[in-house]
Chains A and B, each alone.
Chain A
């Protein structure tokens, strides 16, 4: 249980059974009145945000959150299986829960899994992964170093993204797993 005075940016709290992170925090004190805490909250399960103001007397639940290092094992046809690095205990995560992250999974990749009441709710992948470009049109203006102009490309696992003109089929590139965007070229194909 937190009291309102404990609240600050970054703290994770629970309201009506849902875990939230405080993404913005403002100390408010309307003239001659009691202090209040105006917060922006991010739902840790579905990512939606909401505003909530807390009074000094308010108590806020502490969510039962646990972060564990796990590695990606395999896809069983329906779900993605991650294993505990020490106990090899397995968890299943659906493609829906992973979203675009399914394209960035690499066998044995180490990830941070966030559990709420024992259920996995979020998976943080390494910030960058490297993959090979399977398909892209040759750059119209040759091997220019400009990254401002981009063209579509498809990776070897089917993921589509925009890349600079100088990238060719067979090149190995780095992708930012947080945004899904091209980061840099690692080597030419």
Chain B
């Protein structure tokens, strides 16, 4: 090699070549997804990556970019499209979360976000299961695939209510855990997640209301939020809500999150005015989900590290 920079370039080209198979699989999965959404009548949408007002959340940080923020999710913009009359929409694109880095996290990652007007969160789960089966069939000819030391059978999908999961796997009361700062997450990560069956997708259903930022309260039990999370092979793959469309509750939650952020000395976000205008005008009853696309590729590519399925980030 003539010089150091040429050598570095050679190394980075070699590392990309090593990623080649995973990137090809990534492309196949994206095509399968788009086909599944199109045949279910979804429109692919594009909304801005640079936004003025990120969704106020307690534990998610938007990186700044000049006078803008980089979006942590396209949620608020897509809900404006729902308010404008689009009924089935999805988006596959980059999102950003400052400070999140690990084998299942990257500060820039690809999110699949989708909304269905007129559907509830369980119908959205059915649709989610069907497109997961579709991708698996396209890749491997069945609804089963190898991951880690085992096989995951998507047809065996199991729904476990959060309260039951906490009781069964941790001997804890989920609501009591939720009342104590960070304790719910602690028990979830320390005892519940590791105990979830690994041979099937597991869906944790109905979270204590505090953990449903944009979820509506369950009609039959308002102490619970209409929310599910699907896990495969121990990986948290997607989060879904029966979306909150009540402007009064939404404003109250935003205020509460802004206060928590202030208490934790986190950046203040401007009020998402255009979104609040949309929710005032009326968002139709709907369910929505956000799925970590890189993690989906990890699963189908049988890789344990997000870096093995994604183009390397500049560092």
Q: Is the CB of A31 within 8 A of B189?
A: no
Partner of B239, one of A31, A35, A55, A56: A31
Residues facing B in A1-43 (CB within 8 A) are 26-36, 38
How long is the Cα–Cα vector from A27 to B99 in the complex, in angstroms? 10
Chain A contact surface mostly:
loop
Partner of A33, one of B99, B190, B211: B211
Q: Is the CB of A33 within 8 A of B236?
A: no
CB distance from B195 to the nearest CB of A (A): 12
Q: Is the CB of B186 within 8 A of A31?
A: no
Q: Which residue of B lies closest to A52 (CB)?
A: B190
Does chain B have a CB within 8 A of A57? yes
Q: Which residue of B lies closest to A57 (CB)?
A: B182
Does chain B have a CB within 8 A of A108? no
* Residues on B with beta carbons closer than 8 Å to the beta carbon of A36: 182, 185-186, 189-190
How long is the Cα–Cα vector from A28 to B105 in the complex, in angstroms? 8
How long is the Cα–Cα vector from A51 to B212 in the complex, in angstroms? 29
Q: Is the CB of A34 within 8 A of B57?
A: no
CB distance from A44 to the nearest CB of B (A): 22
Place the interface of chain A in its size category: 10 to 19
Does chain A have a CB within 8 A of B165? no
Does chain B have a CB within 8 A of A46? no
How long is the Cα–Cα vector from A94 to B99 in the complex, in angstroms? 47
How long is the Cα–Cα vector from A40 to B58 in the complex, in angstroms? 28
Residues facing A in B223-269 (CB within 8 A) are 229, 236, 239
Q: Is the CB of B189 within 8 A of A38?
A: yes
CB distance from B259 to the nearest CB of A (A): 16
Q: Is the CB of A26 within 8 A of B59?
A: no
Q: Is the CB of B105 within 8 A of A30?
A: no
How long is the Cα–Cα vector from A35 to B185 in the complex, in angstroms? 8
* Residues on A with beta carbons closer than 8 Å to the beta carbon of B58: 32, 34
Q: Which residue of A lies closest to B188 (CB)?
A: A30
Q: Is the CB of A30 within 8 A of B182?
A: no
Partner of A26, one of B57, B103, B181, B184: B103
Q: Which residues of A come within 8 Å of B, CB atoms? A: 26-36, 38, 51, 53, 55-57
Q: Which residues of B come within 8 Å of A, CB atoms? A: 57-60, 99-105, 181-182, 184-186, 188-190, 193-194, 211-213, 229, 236, 239
Which 10 A-B pairs rank lowest in CB-CB distance, beginning with the nearest? A27-B102, A33-B185, A53-B190, A31-B239, A36-B189, A55-B182, A28-B189, A34-B182, A34-B59, A30-B185
